[in-house]
Structure 1
Amino acid sequence: MRLLLFFFILHLHNFFQISSPQTLPKNTTGYTCNLNQTASSCQTYAFFQPMGPNQLDLASISDLFSVSRAMIAKPSNITSLTSPLVPNQQLFIPLTCTCNSVHTTTTLSYAKLNYTIKKGDTFYFVSTNLFHNLTTYQSVETVNPNLVPINLTIGQDVIFPIFCKCPTKTQVQNQVNYLISYVFQPFDSVSSIASRFGSTTTLIVEVNGDDIRTWDTVFVPVSRLPELTQPSPTSVSFDHMSDRRGEVIGLEIVLGVCGVLLILIGGLWTYRESLWRKKLGKNKVDPESKKFEVGVSLMADVSDCLDKYKVYKFEELHEATHGFDERWVIKGSVFKGYIDGKWYAIKKMKWNACEELKILQKVNHGNLVMLEGFCIDTDDSNCYLVYEYLENGSLYTRLHDSKKERLSWRRRLRIAVDIANGLQYIHEHTIPRVVHKDVKSSNILLDAQMRAKIANFGLAKSGCNAMTRHIVGTQGYVAPEYLSDGIVSTKMDVFSFGVILLELISGREAINDQGKALWVEVYENFNGNEEKLKPKVKAFIDDAILRESCSIDSVMNVMSIAIASLHRDPSRRPSMVDIVYALCKSDDLFTDLSEVGLSQHQVLAR
């Protein structure tokens, strides 16, 4: 009863504080991107304190923010992934903060979080009661212009923009590595926030100004995350259970008796089976028992994933694909399936998906294809991965299928930026870093808005700067150092991305009919100064691009990035951070390319 009374009082306090017109934040529609920030996206954190009985475990918080429990536990100094949380416990939530074009003249800085509308939800309720003012209902309306706030449908997906910012070059030079998103509370002061996070009042005011109001999002500059003090699990358990001590003791007695009975029954059953097998002279393992053991083993392998993804029944997937009918094949062993009113891509594979699931569990980015769930079929030891379905298929098909409408240069640039952002995320913002190892145009999928997402992490490796004798990949995209020496690093993904840029520019495949790689042709023909290169680039460009009115300088800029990415020496290739920055400067969705002047030599020198 005391716990329920606490939550009731806490809810009333929050209601009156948030509803008060004197405590409205000054900024409700969002925060513009920092000028001269080091990249268009960055890894940052939001300070979050769970409230209410539905948020008092890591699984609930990880679902809300679309990250794994481990990604919250590590920066938050939490040692157990399963221990209950207490109201107002301090957490750091990892965010991928990006610059997003909202209007033609406005770019806002926020982390995109997909939220599925439930019964009774409104933009205001979710923003205040679930995300605790890390966003506002006005900003949700801004980034979802096609949705009607008073006519939301249960099951509808909505983007909730969590306010965040990336540090500028100057701030990075001054050892500011993160701008932590923190919601200013009624009893806060700038000095108390500075003390809590190990920052200074001067730095906080420089970033946020001196007119900070209650419920404003404050961006706290820090060089490293402070170590949060967490309550001990024993005290949490005692406080939570003290009011129900009698019930718990009774339950323990019942469970103890049941456990003893189960042990006795299991022992008798095993003894009976042993005698029966000896009697019949059978030493072979029962196939059904073996299947059960395999199923248990497979589920144990992916136990860490069970809290984040939906576990489908095989019957659901069988029905969704009409019995895995060949007419529903998208490509290879990937089927199109219809479940609960939505289309999904269902990948059927023999059991080798454990590593892929573990990698997918710790990544969450708008330019990576989202895994919705999985299924394990113990009868055939098959695993099925259920992904979001992307309507416009692969980039390979859009570029090389003559029946498809040709992509414009602007669209190709946007796709290049999307791919680069996805690779930057897995290279820079996962711990340890992830190397995709199979970046190619057929593994780049396009959604309804023709935005690109990276798919197929079947060959991905968590960790880099390793060596292997087992060479895998696709001819035409494999980096030379990996092919010859088995060196695994993020720079092999950079090389493959360079090949995709060549495909986008030329409209040609990575390998021609004679088996010659496109990048080898570029090595042979694209040498010399920029003036001599321009006629060669014009001959290399896709005819569909030449028919447009795009600037040849724009194509030259991207070509120079591709050449730099394909350098034989991996250490001479730019990082994906540099590539994203260079592409965004070259992307005529943002600037007039003719004024940028990014030469080949400037990119090669990075």
Structure 2
Amino acid sequence: MGTKFTSLSSFLIFLFCCYHAQAQAPNTTGYTCTANQTTSPCLAYAFYRAMAPDFLDLASIGDLFSVSRLMISEPSNISSPTSPLAPNQSLFVPLTCSCNSINSSLSLSFANLSYTFKKDDTFYLVSTNKFQNLTTYQSVEVVNPTIVPTNIDIGADVVFPIFCKCPSTTGLQNQSSYLISYVFQPSDTIPSIASRFGSNAQSIVSVNGDNIQPFDTVFIPVSRLPTLSQPTVTAVSPVSPVSVSPPERNDRKGVITGLAIGLGLCAFSLILVGGLWTYRETTRKKRRENGGDEERQPKGRGGKGLSKEAQMNLMADVSDCLDKYRVFGIEELREATDGFDRRWVIQGSVYKGCIGGEVYAIKKMKWNARDELKILQKVNHGNLVKLEGFCIDPEDASCYLIYEYVENGSLYAWLHNDKKEKLSWKTRLRIAIDVANGLQYIHEHTRPQVVHKDIKSSNILLDANMRAKIANFGLAKSGCNAITMHIVGTQGYIPPEYLADGVVSTKMDVFSFGVVLLELISGREAIDEEGKVLWASVDWFLDVKEGKKEKRLNRWMDDNLLQESCLIDSIMNVMAIAVACLHKDPSRRLSMVDIVYALCKSDELLFDVSENGLSPLQVVAR
């Protein structure tokens, strides 16, 4: 009887454990979302804890999440991005969150992070240990359907979907600015995490439901990031081995010996410092007698070199970038471009080069590239050309920015050069949406805001899938609503208020984007051979009566589009968006959030047509 009772008890316990485990299983595949959301992509944050041995500094954590140290230190209330971290120290890591289509029936909300596999890595270990359960191995498998989890080569790049959400997916966009991704711990309660992050329990339940289990990712809505209380951590010096004390007589002898050695070292140091100082002053005197300091003496190729002090200043300018980007050697770049031979020029001063089997776009610049580097290290978005690294050549005072190579060249070349193939309306519309998403990101989700200032078809590049990426942040400005007397940009894309008053704002980019939309519709250049700007030729769209607009649009738009069976309502809608972007009053122009939403509606119109049997081609023959 006792044996039967014991067996029955064990069986009941087993059933209870199975049920309990099933009830507490975290979300495994990810969090579904609806495509074409108005605020997707958005800026979100992940709550992360520093941990030994590999993640006790911001550089290693920044590399893991593909962000810079500064992007973690500022929201995490850490004074210096180079400070060491304590185990379990709390951090806020920024994420670019978006709604990603996995297949025709599934879209998941996550930040798309690329992770390079190392020895002994598995989907499970990387998800649970390095990313601390901010994703799951099941979701990694879903997002990487072509990768066999048991057969991954060391060095292979795998997408790890870090769970996140945008405010619009929750219905709380009016009350919250961010959603923090937090892994619910067994000791947590909803009220406790609400108190910890300055949120409220009802808001958390509204976003996540009330059946939150340990190790689920919880999305915490906040109007602003709470201030994290950070410990003071100092770098620990290596500890000398402890030796056994000899008798007292030897102690005294050791003290005397130590003092003698110390005094000797001090005397030697003083002599060395004095000698160096004397040598420096003597050298400076000779230079002055020869007609100038070394700082004014030209060196190296062409007499354009920099002094040692100037070189150090240049490196100090980019010190914040050293942990995020690869520092290339100038000889690598020379070899990759055959000594910067004109045969490898892509456009202007941008060269194509192959380094270590990878193809890059190498942009040669005059120093100083610090401002562009500072902006580029703040941004991380699929519709912006990715900066891979940089190189400083002090001998001719040049800086090189090394970007990912975008295979299909510029939008300008596809629209205006004599290509045998032309872009379909479907492709043009997707390009417009890609560019709008990139601009929305730099306008809405960087702090401070970034204004590109040079949006034009030649600065929009197309990858192998004909998806668009914004390039060339050489004129970009961090911060907006400023006034400048130095007017820069490209004729045909410059808004009137910038030409007249030098006003720098995000509405500059909106205006330029409107011109790009006109190029996509008409196939015409932003400024013609007679110097007439394209945007000044669309007043008819506002003046013509509704019934006649379609006929007028048919005469005005690209002839290649007339050969397609595309939906005229979609083109008409984009034309209305373009005209709204070009309003002479900047305050009455659309925001990029509104533009993304409106363009996605145009895409839906076209998608409806394709579902009825009209298959839009990516590229159509002329």
| Distance across 1 between alignment mates of 2:572 and 2:601 | 13
1:202 is matched with: 202
| Distance across 1 between alignment mates of 2:493 and 2:285 | 60
For residues 62-94 of structure 1, give each alpha carbon's deviation from its aligned partner in whole angstroms, at most 9, with x where no partner exists: 222122222212221111212111111111111
Cα distance change, pair 102–169 in 1 and its aligned pair in 2 (3 A): closer
| Distance across 1 between alignment mates of 2:475 and 2:517 | 21
Aligned residues: 566
The secondary structure found in structure 2 opposite 1:179 is strand
Deviates more, 1:154-163 or 1:501-510: 154-163
Residue 500 of structure 1 aligns with an amino acid whose one-letter code is: V
Cα distance change, pair 412–148 in 1 and its aligned pair in 2 (3 A): farther
Deviates more, 1:123-132 or 1:327-336: 123-132
The secondary structure found in structure 1 opposite 2:307 is helix
2:5 is matched with: none
RMSD over aligned Cα atoms: 2.9
- Picking from 448, 453, 462, the partner of 1:446 is 462
| Distance across 2 between alignment mates of 1:96 and 1:318 | 35
- Picking from 277, 280, 283, the partner of 1:270 is 280
Shift of 1:266: 2.4
Find out whether 1:237 has 2:245 as its counterpart: no
1:600 is matched with: none
Cα distance change, pair 393–173 in 1 and its aligned pair in 2 (3 A): closer
Cα distance change, pair 36–321 in 1 and its aligned pair in 2 (3 A): closer
Shift of 1:294: 2.5
For residues 470-495 of structure 1, give each alpha carbon's deviation from its aligned partner in whole angstroms, at most 9, with x where no partner exists: 11111111111111221111001000
Residue 416 of structure 1 aligns with an amino acid whose one-letter code is: A
| Distance across 1 between alignment mates of 2:438 and 2:463 | 15
The secondary structure found in structure 2 opposite 1:54 is coil
Shift of 1:265: 4.5
For residues 12-51 of structure 1, give each alpha carbon's deviation from its aligned partner in whole angstroms, at most 9, with x where no partner exists: xxxxxxxx97797432222112699542222121111122
Answer whether contact 2:170 2:207 (CA < 8 A) is retained: no
- Picking from 357, 367, 379, the partner of 2:373 is 357
Find out whether 1:282 has 2:298 as its counterpart: no
- Picking from 576, 582, 592, the partner of 2:592 is 576
2:552 is matched with: 536
Alignment of 1:123-202 (within 5 A): 123-168=123-168, 171-172=171-172, 175-202=175-202
| Distance across 2 between alignment mates of 1:174 and 1:300 | 42
Shift of 1:277: 5.5
Cα distance change, pair 301–180 in 1 and its aligned pair in 2 (3 A): same
Deviates more, 1:505-514 or 1:170-179: 170-179
- Picking from 513, 529, 535, the partner of 1:519 is 535
Find out whether 1:118 has 2:118 as its counterpart: yes
The secondary structure found in structure 2 opposite 1:53 is coil
Residue 441 of structure 2 aligns with an amino acid whose one-letter code is: Y
| Distance across 1 between alignment mates of 2:306 and 2:406 | 38
2:390 is matched with: 374
Shift of 1:569: 0.8
| Distance across 2 between alignment mates of 1:290 and 1:346 | 22
The TM-score normalised by the length of structure 1 is 0.87
The secondary structure found in structure 1 opposite 2:474 is coil
| Distance across 1 between alignment mates of 2:552 and 2:131 | 54
Shift of 1:173: 5.9
Shift of 1:117: 3.0
2:76 is matched with: 76
| Distance across 1 between alignment mates of 2:147 and 2:96 | 24
The secondary structure found in structure 2 opposite 1:206 is helix
| Distance across 1 between alignment mates of 2:412 and 2:123 | 38
Answer whether contact 1:410 1:589 (CA < 8 A) is retained: no
Shift of 1:52: 2.0
Shift of 1:579: 0.7
| Distance across 1 between alignment mates of 2:285 and 2:221 | 71
Residue 136 of structure 1 aligns with an amino acid whose one-letter code is: T
Find out whether 1:395 has 2:411 as its counterpart: yes
Cα distance change, pair 387–528 in 1 and its aligned pair in 2 (3 A): same
For residues 315-373 of structure 1, give each alpha carbon's deviation from its aligned partner in whole angstroms, at most 9, with x where no partner exists: 11111111111111111111111111100000011113121111111111111111111
Answer whether contact 1:58 1:82 (CA < 8 A) is retained: yes
2:496 is matched with: 480
Answer whether contact 1:32 1:107 (CA < 8 A) is retained: yes
The secondary structure found in structure 1 opposite 2:161 is strand
Q: Which runs of 5+ in 1 are unaligned?
A: 1-19, 596-606
Shift of 1:382: 0.7
| Distance across 1 between alignment mates of 2:108 and 2:416 | 35
Cα distance change, pair 41–304 in 1 and its aligned pair in 2 (3 A): same
The secondary structure found in structure 1 opposite 2:389 is strand
Answer whether contact 1:295 1:377 (CA < 8 A) is retained: no
Cα distance change, pair 512–435 in 1 and its aligned pair in 2 (3 A): same
Cα distance change, pair 383–259 in 1 and its aligned pair in 2 (3 A): farther
1:338 is matched with: 354
| Distance across 2 between alignment mates of 1:126 and 1:590 | 41
Deviates more, 1:263-272 or 1:217-226: 263-272
1:227 is matched with: 227
Cα distance change, pair 275–204 in 1 and its aligned pair in 2 (3 A): closer
Q: Which has the larger radius of gyration?
A: 2
| Distance across 2 between alignment mates of 1:411 and 1:557 | 16
Answer whether contact 2:167 2:173 (CA < 8 A) is retained: no
The secondary structure found in structure 1 opposite 2:604 is coil
Residue 158 of structure 1 aligns with an amino acid whose one-letter code is: V
Cα distance change, pair 128–328 in 1 and its aligned pair in 2 (3 A): same
- Using the aligned pairs only, state the percent identity: 64
| Distance across 1 between alignment mates of 2:213 and 2:271 | 62
Cα distance change, pair 346–262 in 1 and its aligned pair in 2 (3 A): farther
Find out whether 1:506 has 2:522 as its counterpart: yes
| Distance across 1 between alignment mates of 2:189 and 2:155 | 40
